[in-house]
Structure 1
Amino acid sequence: MTPLLLPGNAPFVAAIGLMIAIGALEGITLLFGLSVTEHAGSMLVSHFGIDHSGAAADTGVVGQLLGWLHLGRVPLLILLILFLLGFAIVGLVLQSLLHALAGFMLPPPVAALIAAFGALPFVRQTGGLVGHYLPQNETSALSEADFVGRTAQIVTGEASPGNPAEARLVDEYGQPHYLRIEPDDPEARFARGSTVLIVSRVSGSLYRAIANPRPDLL
């Protein structure tokens, strides 16, 4: 049997297939003017308050890990591909060495766990290198407070008090940010497609807003 097709290598062969599938899905969504990973990346950056500007912020353990992996500086799609690539490389090399030198392979779950941890430094190093060559702008310096006073458009569902809807905010650099919006007025409702003015931040990615008072200017 070809070493690559041995049962111990199954998670890593699957990772290569998943990497190809993610790239294909992203390509298809881009044909419709959308980006699944860009959307998800913006949501994660906003939700965990990831900030690469050097300003002090309590992002929590998950936020610190994602920031350490350069999320917010490097597109999520690239980070996902780097993780799957690192996972596959570490796992295949580990299993191949064990098979060649000792005549056995680790059980797939054990090998996958080791490879996942091994992939993190790979993402950190290669992601930093990629980020060095990517064009950077000042959007990474935006904090949650910077969203107050800006307009956003409701893109999913209807926003009502206690029932936030997803909204899309595009900053002055053309970068989208996805937030959760609920009305500041307890009697208000914002339907999908409505443009609102953000007036305060509640917590995380949750904000309160009012109907855009000057749609002719914004």
Structure 2
Amino acid sequence: MFEFLLSDQNFVFSCALCLMLVLALLEGVGALIGFSLGNLIDQALPVDLDLDADVSAELVNPASGVTALLGWLCFAKLPFLVWLILALTSFSVSGYLVNATAQNLFNLLVPMYISLPLALLAMVWLTRLIGQPLARLLPKNESSAISSRSFVGKSARITIGTARRDLPAEAVLVDDFGQKHYILVAPEDDTELPAGTEVALLEKTERHFIVKALS
């Protein structure tokens, strides 16, 4: 058993499992003394992703970039430590299952260049599958006390894609405290706003901000 877990083909998965156990142990011990590692990490995160809306439908839009992908993975719907433990567990268990299946069927372990991509794909699917119901049971992650509604009237810069009325693009906004917020923006009219355009936020909709270019 230990030979299987510590084999070279399972090294990355063992590291992920060990990291998950250490984080869970630290959080458990911290809870006994009134200290939360998870809350500390949430407060220390330099980036707050504004993913209040369900952007899973916009995953097919390449302009949605990191925002849509992390939204689909329930990143902002869970405390970061919970999300990280879920992702690490899904990754390590998936990798072990790939190699255990190969060993039982073919009496060999799968090379890392095969097992690693398979484990990553399984991690993405499992994180989404488990994260959604888990998010309904746990309090929503609040990494910033600033409401996204307060962004109206501020300026941002489009970072990925070209924003169109029916195709939002990703933009970054820096608040008064120097914290970055990644948001989706679309113009108020039929103009196109390419990456690098500075825009003013006019209105917050369910999925994105309506903006206009700053001259």
Give the TM-score category using the shorter length.
0.5 to 0.7
TM-fit CA distance, 1:138: 10
Alignment match, 1:206: 174
Match for residue 132 of structure 1?
136
CA distance in 2, matches of 1:135, 1:37: 16
Q: CA shift at 1:39, angstroms?
A: 3.0
2:101 paired residue among 97, 102, 126: 97
C-alpha distance 36-117 of structure 1, shift in aligned 2 (>3 A): farther
Q: Secondary structure at the match of 2:128?
A: helix
Q: Secondary structure at the match of 2:124?
A: helix
Q: d(CA) in 2 for partners of 1:81 and 1:137?
A: 14
Q: CA deviation at 1:104?
A: 1.6
Give the corresponding residue for 1:79.
83
Indicate the residue corresponding to 1:12 in structure 2. 13
Q: Structure 1 residues 28 and 97, CA, compared in 2 at 3 Å: closer, same or farther?
A: same
- Deviations 1:163-203 (CA, angstroms, capped at 9, x unpaired): xxxxxxxxxxxxxxxxxxxxxxxxxxxxxxxxxxxx73344
TM-score by length of 2: 0.57
Please tell me the root mean square deviation across aligned C-alpha atoms, in Å. Answer: 3.8
Contact 1:99 1:105 in 2 (8 A): yes
Moved more, 112-121 or 130-139: 130-139
Change (3 A) 1:32 1:2: closer
Residue identity in the other structure for 2:148 = E
Q: CA deviation at 1:2?
A: 2.7
Instruction: Report what 1:179 is aligned to.
Output: none
Q: Which amino acid aligns with 2:4?
A: P
Alignment-derived partner of residue 70 in structure 1: 74
Aligned residues: 154
Gaps of 5+ in 1: 149-198, 210-218
Letter in 1 for 2:173: S
In structure 2, distance between residues paired with 1:97 and 1:33: 36
> Partners in 1 of 2:4 and 2:92 — Cα distance?
14
